[in-house]
């Protein structure tokens, strides 16, 4: 099997309810990014996003952990093969972004984050409103 020929199963986002399993729920992503302005790190070889009851962990070059209560904003940018959910923590100059593999996971993730008190951007709220 050539690189890129893998068959990806959709994320088990229906598991995003409380309480989550102790080892969290992983979301299937194409890539993850971290940075601000022109200084951006990217991971499309082994990206990872895992949700827990109290935090989210995103692996770009290294694992970043953000507690939901520390989120300043959750943004959304969509396009062709792009379902980017960006998380910015309070006091941070950089955002961590996950490009979700499935567009179907976008509203589930946004609702999950909103239910935990994360402030959604107007773009994210408009997406949920349909």
Find the CATH number of the domain harbouring 113: 2.30.29.30
Q: Does residue 92 belong to any structural domain of this protein?
A: yes
Q: How many domains is the chain partitioned into structurally?
A: 1
- Residue pLDDT, tens place only, 53-63: 999 999 999 99
Residue 113 lies in a domain: yes
Q: Both tokens of residue 70?
A: 């520390």
Question: What pTM was estimated for this model as a whole?
Answer: 0.84
- Per the domain annotation, does 76 fall within a domain? yes
In a domain, 111, yes or no: yes
In a domain, 1, yes or no: no
- pLDDT of 1 > 60? The answer is no
Instruction: Give the C-alpha distances (Å, rounded to integers) separating 13 from 2, 3, 61, 70.
Output: 28, 26, 24, 22
How does pLDDT run across 2-14, given as a tens digit for each residue?
333 333 344 445 5
60 is in which domain, residue-wise? Answer: 19-125
């Amino acid at each position: 099997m050539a690189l890129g020929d893998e068959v990806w199963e959709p994320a088990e986002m229906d598991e995003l309810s409380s309480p989550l399993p102790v080892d969290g729920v992983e979301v299937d992503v194409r890539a993850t990014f971290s940075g601000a302005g022109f200084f951006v790190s990217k991971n499309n070889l082994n990206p990872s996003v895992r949700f827990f009851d109290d935090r989210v962990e995103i692996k770009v070059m290294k694992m970043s952990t953000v507690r939901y209560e520390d989120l300043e904003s959750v943004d959304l940018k969509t396009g062709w093969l792009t379902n980017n959910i960006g998380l910015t923590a309070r006091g941070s100059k950089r955002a961590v972004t996950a490009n979700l593999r499935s567009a179907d996971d976008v509203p589930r993730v946004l609702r999950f984050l909103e239910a935990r008190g994360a402030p959604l951007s107007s773009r994210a709220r408009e997406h949920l409103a349909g």
